[in-house]
Structure 1
């Protein structure tokens, strides 16, 4: 559990500046974090509620595309019991680049997440686990299976030495939610476009292996129309999972 001293410094950065190209036409008029889920909620609203319920006190929103709409919707964050501030990209900086200009405003350890993630992950436990690890980066991971719709051949010297009909491969994948330490940002100049993929490769090259936070609960990236549509169809069942703290408050 997070101690009271840690809870007073629990901060998250939400990356909400993307154009949501894969989710068009839904994102033609709305930034991706504001697309509706169910009848009453935007994705970002759910995330901010969850962070507040986990004990976070402050959030920085990295905005760009349709950023004024996000500012108008979120405001100062007080309706979630949060202090929300903003950083605005003048040019696209990918997923890590927006953090470089923030480094003096960030606590020693914090959470970074994409603004299009729906999950019941305990963000406080992720941050606590990362802090205890002493590492530069902790990646929340989920299990995913990928099926191959063909027979797969094992080849050696031009001969088939093995055969598997339509195999399924299982991987752990990044959920787009991270625990990070401020020192991780130190080697990079402000204004440098950098993605999490390159950051991980840089850390591996420096022999600083990131930590995996293995998660088994609900997670979906709504960046794909089919995933977004499925989340909407299932929201009646998902509501108690994603907004369980709100349900408890009503009891």
Structure 2
């Protein structure tokens, strides 16, 4: 099984932590880099090959991961000369990928079963499958609905729930084949194009642990909760 890890971003929102390190290499629990945890998980779930799509501070990622043998994985690299967004990097090495494969951001901490996601994608024959999570957002204001200048509904500081992308996807090579190489192309572009053609992506709903480490607050939370989550994030180590 083949996984692609998107690790080329500049991590601007996570500064100052990413001033000298690419985001996938920031430490979690003072013991592991995010990327280390992801690679351990992929090996545990039976993946054998990983392609790292890299860009910003790529030499540090190459030095840390090497050929992947530390995780009993075969790792290769695709380096972008200019930012290509989420899907664009995949198009440059699409012919090297199997019919179905996993794609994930290099800054995600989750106990999602990646094999179950990939199996679901293959079974439902979707053009794309997105792992989704219900994110609750607390609104700090009273919300209003109006009709012809009159308030018809009022809710004091509601909590709203949204289905969001986890940054983990199952994809098929034939879905991406029609798109041009070497131009920026994001997940949003792909989803909107598929919807416009009536090819609906599938959702793989997940209710376990998920944290997208995009902001300093998220990073601090990841470190605070790591020891309590160690056994689910690193199941192979828990069995030792």
For the aligned pair, the TM-score class normalised by the smaller chain equals over 0.9
Q: Which residue of 1 aligns with 2:17?
A: 26
Runs (5+) with no aligned partner, structure 1: 1-9
Once the two structures are superposed, what CA deviation does each residue of 1:85-131 show, in whole Å capped at 9, x if it has no partner? 00000010011100111110000000100000000001111111111
Structure 2 Cα separation of the partners of residues 223 and 170 of structure 1: 19
Q: Which residue of 2 aligns with 1:116?
A: 107
Task: State the 1:217 CA deviation.
Answer: 0.6
TM-score, normalised by the number of residues in structure 1: 0.94
Q: Which residue of 1 aligns with 2:233?
A: 242
Of the structure 1 ranges 229-238 and 44-53, higher mean CA displacement relative to structure 2 is found in 229-238
Task: State the 1:241 CA deviation.
Answer: 1.3
Structure 2 Cα separation of the partners of residues 210 and 49 of structure 1: 28
Runs (5+) with no aligned partner, structure 2: none
* Large movers: runs of 4+ above 3 Å: none
For residue 176 of structure 1, the aligned residue among 167, 175, 193 is: 167
TM-score, normalised by the number of residues in structure 2: 0.98
Total equivalences in the alignment: 240
Structure 1 Cα separation of the partners of residues 102 and 183 of structure 2: 20
Matches within 5 A, 1:76-155: 76-155=67-146
Structure 2 Cα separation of the partners of residues 245 and 210 of structure 1: 32
Once the two structures are superposed, what CA deviation does each residue of 1:9-28 show, in whole Å capped at 9, x if it has no partner? x1100000000001111111
